[in-house]
Structure 1
Amino acid sequence: MPVDLPIASFTDAPPVPPRLVVWLGLLMLVMLAGAGGTLFTWPQGEPTGSPWFWTKLLVLPALGFCVAFGLRLFYYEQESERVRAEVATLKDDQAKALLFASEPLAVLECRYLSALQIGQAAKQIVATHSILNARVPHSGGSAVRHTALKFGELQSLPERYRACFLELLDEIGPAIATLPLDVPFNICLALPVNPENLEQDDLSAIWQSCWRESGLRPAKASRLFAEQGLMPLDGWLDVRGDVALEKVTLYVCAQLHATPPHNSAEAAVALLLGWPPLLERRGLKPLAMLHRPADAGTGALDDALLKALLWGRSTAPELGDLWQAGLASDDKPAILQSASALSLGLSKSWNLSGVHDIDTTLGHAGVAAGWLATAFAVEHVAQAHTPQLVAYRAGSLQLAVVNPVARHACDPTERAPAPCL
């Protein structure tokens, strides 16, 4: 579940110190009232030079004033101490929650398939190299504006998914093979549900067949709700000090089409992620750090961007690149407006050169849009060595930060105790 920073639960106004002018005025009134009362009630014939006369005239009113002022000052000090304690507790809870929420997952390997050249996609998109053109689909028919993956003469969707999985495994297999056998490893498949004449179980069976054919270590594969985007990572990072936290997981997402929609893209992504302390102990070096995604939901986009910055341990001027994919028409201007309001570095780039629209370059990659944007950000962070912002829509608008490994190494943290949210 998304992490929320604790907020102040007290709504009372802060205590106000005694006002000197007011209390000096009260002192004068008390002394005048005491003197007037003493003179008015003093028995006739009694000498006014007695100690009791002066005690009633000056000492008792002053003593009463001092008692009242002391009680008021004591109340102020007690309330101030209470507020200071609450603020200190709140700051401590916020620091623990922030430390908990900002811990990343390490990217051990990242591979993708798209119409762009493998390993050069980020550079081509940065250079605004668009290849989204009208072309005849592999299945024939009239020309449609789209991009597609090429798998030789294969035509049927099951055959193309099989070829896609095998090519992904060829790319990422060496990284999986280097994992020590005693390191917990599993697979999560973020695949379309009932994609165009294919049943959900068919895709799982195709994957399992490809996995066995690859000769890699046995591993359990589970299906994710693909429309969640990267939010399953949030669930992994929510594990609080359990052994389930320390593992390596292969996330696979693919989107192919029998009949491509207009302005669509075919793409596949394989991300090998692990828990950083585990990888450090086992001598496995990551490529980048992927931080907890922030879900904008129905809240303010500015707040979601601020959360993404906090979770990503980044400042606004550092974020010079935005990788966006699968966004609705009103998302793009809203993100730019929020980026400008928060003074993100990308909003100050010449001609918004830091904004990389994958939908414009490649087309909408369906359920793979968010994963593809993340893959491009991981590829580019190794070249730019600066934090990268990822924005995509998967049910709701979601944001995530990808950091270079060097930033994480300079800011080592221990797993904080679970915050009380």
Structure 2
Amino acid sequence: MPWPIPTFKKIGRPEPISFRLWLSTLTALAVGTASGLLLLWPHGRPTQGFQFWVLFVGIPLVACVLAYGIRLDRWEREQTIAEEAEREQERIVSLWRGWCRRRLQITTALAVLPILTRTPQLSDADADLPVNTGRAKAFPWTKGQTDAPRRQELLDRIASGLQATLADRRAMSIKLLLDDASLAFANAWKEEARTTFGKIAPNCNFTVVAERAVGCARWLAEQVDLNDAVPHLVIAVQIWPNGQKEHNFSESAAVLLIDPAATPAGYIYRPMIVASATLEGDLAQLVDMQLQLDTATHVWFTRCDDESVAITSALAPDPKIPVIERQLDNVVGKPGPASSWIALATALEAAQGTGPHLVAWRESENEPLNLCMIASAQPHSPQEEIQT
């Protein structure tokens, strides 16, 4: 659902006091009071004396000062109230912006894809990308193997990419997110994960759980609000079972090492769950709260072809600064149950040295749209992005 941020009305400040209007008003007031003095002045009393001229000049002057003072005091009170309301509104907006910008610190992000193109190259504007629209692609290094060797090969590749990060760990929680067919062998996955990672970190105590690869956005939203989050390794996998000739998804895997205490390589910001009917307003809210003065350089899609054009157009209002669009379903093939995690890991691995990236996905065709901003921890130069 969209973030429950209240709508803030523009606070109107009082109009400045018009010099021309008040000059004519004060002139009329002075003439009126002076005329009244002349009408009320006793007949027979001299008008050349000191008392007459003091009253003739002083009464209009006092009347003008009092009238202008009353108006100025009212204006200053209205101005003070408006300034205090603006400061309070800015404070509330700042609190909401801090809530929206809560994020997970990603120490390592790896995407294991069924294509030969290296993941960091996918973000290049002129990258030569494979076309696998509507195809179910397999890992090129698992052909002809049965379940156990393919599972072991995948875990070995993941462990190789995490060796430097996990070597000195003493404890780590591993969350395996599996497709339905793989979940039937959850115990085998947990045991092999514990054994494989134990080889690269022999002094680390691994706690392994296995779950279905669903609810990515909701899980991330829960995690960003945890104040005492512990390091954990998320491994999302979609891999073909033995004996099936027809496959509904491409084989892929995603790895996210989340550690609030370690030096981050990237960030995953609070995701937003939106409906197609409110996409424009919700996307504007996400950009305003999470990007502010920055701009997204890339946008990644999976299972959201219908909204991709609208999202890309909203992120790139200036045609001179285009947003690089990546349709992962066209690059790696048919999406599967773990495609949301794979899109996030791919974007994070490819985002190093670039600006913020937006990842948009659906868990399934009937699920609502999810939007999530990710960013590299490395600084980037917007000018370099434009030139590439």
Tell me if TM exceeds 0.5. yes
Read off the aligned partner of 2:173 and give its amino acid letter.
N
Residue 42 (structure 1) shift: 3.0
Q: Residues 47-196 of structure 1: matches in 2 within 5 Å? A: 47-51=46-50, 53-95=52-94, 97-98=96-97, 101-102=100-101, 104-117=103-116, 120-123=118-121, 126-132=127-133, 145-149=135-139, 151-153=142-144, 160=147, 165-173=151-159, 175=162, 177-181=166-170, 185-192=172-179, 195=180
Q: Residues 219-238 of structure 1: matches in 2 within 5 Å? A: 219-221=207-209, 223=211, 226-238=213-225
SS at match of 1:399: strand
With over 3 angstroms needed to count, the CA separation of the structure-2 counterparts of 1:404 and 1:187, relative to structure 1, is: same
1:255 equivalent to 2:238? Answer: yes
Residue 237 (structure 1) shift: 2.1
1:377 equivalent to 2:377? Answer: no
* Alpha-carbon distance in structure 1 between the residues aligned to 2:150 and 2:60: 93
With over 3 angstroms needed to count, the CA separation of the structure-2 counterparts of 1:163 and 1:83, relative to structure 1, is: farther
Q: Deviations over 1:153-193 (max 9, x none)?
A: 567xxxx4x666544432333536424215xx32334445x
* Alpha-carbon distance in structure 2 between the residues aligned to 1:55 and 1:203: 105
* Alpha-carbon distance in structure 1 between the residues aligned to 2:62 and 2:262: 71
Query: Which of 289, 302, 327 is the aligned partner of 1:325?
Result: 302
CA contact (8 A) 2:224 2:270 kept: no
1:271 equivalent to 2:243? Answer: no
* Alpha-carbon distance in structure 2 between the residues aligned to 1:260 and 1:323: 27
Structure 2 regions of 5+ residues with no counterpart?
199-204, 381-388
Structure 1 regions of 5+ residues with no counterpart?
134-144, 281-285, 348-353, 409-421
* Alpha-carbon distance in structure 2 between the residues aligned to 1:342 and 1:396: 28
CA contact (8 A) 2:106 2:267 kept: yes
Q: Deviations over 1:333-371 (max 9, x none)?
A: 112321332658434xxxxxx322111122232232222
CA contact (8 A) 1:294 1:304 kept: no
SS at match of 2:223: helix
Read off the aligned partner of 2:238 and give its amino acid letter.
Q
1:396 equivalent to 2:368? Answer: yes
CA contact (8 A) 2:176 2:234 kept: yes
Aligned residues: 359
Read off the aligned partner of 2:300 and give its amino acid letter.
W
Read off the aligned partner of 1:341 and give its amino acid letter.
P
Query: Which of 288, 301, 304 is the aligned partner of 2:283?
Result: 304
| CA RMSD, 1 decimal | 3.7
CA contact (8 A) 1:377 1:402 kept: yes
Residue 91 (structure 1) shift: 3.6
Query: Which of 206, 219, 234 is the aligned partner of 1:218?
Result: 206
* Alpha-carbon distance in structure 2 between the residues aligned to 1:101 and 1:84: 25
Read off the aligned partner of 1:129 and give its amino acid letter.
P
With over 3 angstroms needed to count, the CA separation of the structure-2 counterparts of 1:187 and 1:346, relative to structure 1, is: farther
Residue 97 (structure 1) shift: 4.9
Task: Give the structure 1 partner of residue 385 of structure 2.
Answer: none
Read off the aligned partner of 2:46 and give its amino acid letter.
P
* Alpha-carbon distance in structure 2 between the residues aligned to 1:391 and 1:344: 23
Relative to the length of structure 2, the TM-score reads 0.75
Relative to the length of structure 1, the TM-score reads 0.70
* Alpha-carbon distance in structure 1 between the residues aligned to 2:168 and 2:293: 30
Query: Which of 176, 190, 214 is the aligned partner of 1:208?
Result: 190
Task: Give the structure 1 partner of residue 30 of structure 2.
Answer: 31
Task: Give the structure 2 partner of residue 137 of structure 1.
Answer: none
CA contact (8 A) 1:168 1:269 kept: no
Q: Structure 1 vs Structure 2: percent identity of aligned residues?
A: 20
* Alpha-carbon distance in structure 1 between the residues aligned to 2:280 and 2:246: 32
Read off the aligned partner of 2:312 and give its amino acid letter.
L
SS at match of 2:32: helix
With over 3 angstroms needed to count, the CA separation of the structure-2 counterparts of 1:268 and 1:343, relative to structure 1, is: same
